[in-house]
Each structure stands twice: as structure tokens, then as C-alpha cells.
Structure 1
Amino acid sequence: MQEFDFVKSTYSGQDMNECVEVATNVVGTVALRDSKQADGPVIRVSDAAWAAFAGAR
């Protein structure tokens, strides 16, 4: 299984304490985690599901 390469969201707060990290380097999958808990749970969704969520209004 390929490792996720997480990056912090550009929408993180100024103090960087409220951050979501996202990984899009695994084909067909988007992974999300809390930057304060790097060893914590990872939410994995299909890239289609992520596109629908991100485009929702």
C-alpha cells in the first residue's frame, strides 16, 4: 500500500492550530487527518466523493 503524503490546508487558521491535512498522491483516493493527531485516524474517500463534497454549496 502506498503511503499518503499529507499537506496542510491553505485555509488553516493563522495560529495553525486548527488544521486539516489532505493527501491526494494515491490514485483514486483522498485522505484527510487532523494535523494535531498525525498518528490518529485517517478518513479515506474516493476522489469522486471528495469532488462532490468540495463542490457542494
Structure 2
Amino acid sequence: MRTIGGALGAQAVPAFVTSALAAGTSSPAESGYATAFVVSAAVMAAAALAALAVSGSRLAA
């Protein structure tokens, strides 16, 4: 699972970063980095909640 997550993250982050180019250049704008950070943080939070749910169900059993 960790390898799959790393592979997906390695493809998704550059897509977000390069989707927002600075006007008149081929360089990414700061907003692309901010979007990539927010999306990464949201995915990390969802994964943490899923991990807590799984570990909580194991403790109850």
C-alpha cells in the first residue's frame, strides 16, 4: 500500500504544481504548490482517519 501511495503521490503532485503556470512563463506559480500541499494534507488526513478506524476495530474485537 505504501508503494502505491508513493507512486500516486509522485504523479499527482507534479500535475497540481504544473497546472498553475506563472503568467507569461513556463515556471509554476506559487498557487500550484499551495494546491498540491492542500491536496496532500487532505489525503494524509483521510489516511490517518482510516488507520484509526482500522486500529479501533481491532481493539474492540
Q: TM-score, normalised by structure 2?
A: 0.22
**Where is the helix percentage greater, Structure 1 or Structure 2?**
2
Whose strand proportion is higher, 1 or 2?
Answer: 1
